[in-house]
Amino acid sequence: GAGVSQSPRYKVTKRGQDVALRCDPISGHVSLYWYRQALGQGPEFLTYFNYEAQQDKSGLPNDRFSAERPEGSISTLTIQRTEQRDSAMYRCASSLFAPSPRETQYFGPGTRLLVL
């Protein structure tokens, strides 16, 4: 595809439900990041994949959050037992090679999650 895609674009859920957010990176991109961006804030790092390996998950807020990228392409961020404080824009980004400022991260349009 032309860019990073994410689905769904909007998700409204009730507190306590599980949600799964999908990221489809640019074809061939090795690196994949997940970020959370609250309104009026910059992206906050959640986790990083190099191919299928989750190399850094230090930004995941707690054990209700998990992510996978089983075949090194599409990634899913899962939030279990959602809470209202989980409401935010969740963005993924991909880049061709390993993390480097020279290596442009291409951001997806994001999934806006609202937990009621």
Partner 1 sequence: QKEVEQDPGPLSVPEGAIVSLNCTYSNSAFQYFMWYRQYSRKGPELLMYTYSSGNKEDGRFTAQVDKSSKYISLFIRDSQPSDSATYLCAMRTNTGNQFYFGTGTSLTVIP
Q: Enter the DSSP assignment of 64.
A: T
Angle at 114 between CA 41 and CA 94, to 5 degrees: 55
With H, G, I as helix, E, B as strand and everything else as coil, classify residue 60.
Answer: coil
With H, G, I as helix, E, B as strand and everything else as coil, classify residue 9.
Answer: coil
Q: How far is the CB of 27 from partner 1 (least distance, A)?
A: 18
Which CB atom, from 92 or from 115, has the smaller least distance to partner 1? 92
Q: Which of 59, 72, 76, 87 binds partner 1 (CB under 8 A)?
A: 59
Burial of 39 (0-12, 13-18, 19+ CB in 10 A): exposed
Q: How far is the CB of 25 from partner 1 (least distance, A)?
A: 12
Based on the shown chain and the rule CB under 8 A, indicate whether residue 99 belongs to the binding site for partner 1: yes
Based on the shown chain and the rule CB under 8 A, indicate whether residue 90 belongs to the binding site for partner 1: no
Torsion sign (Cα): 2, 33, 76, 108: negative
Q: How far is the CB of 18 from partner 1 (least distance, A)?
A: 25
Based on the shown chain and the rule CB under 8 A, indicate whether residue 40 belongs to the binding site for partner 1: yes
Contacts to partner 1 by CB under 8 A: 4, 33, 40-45, 48, 55-56, 58-59, 91, 93, 99-102, 104-110
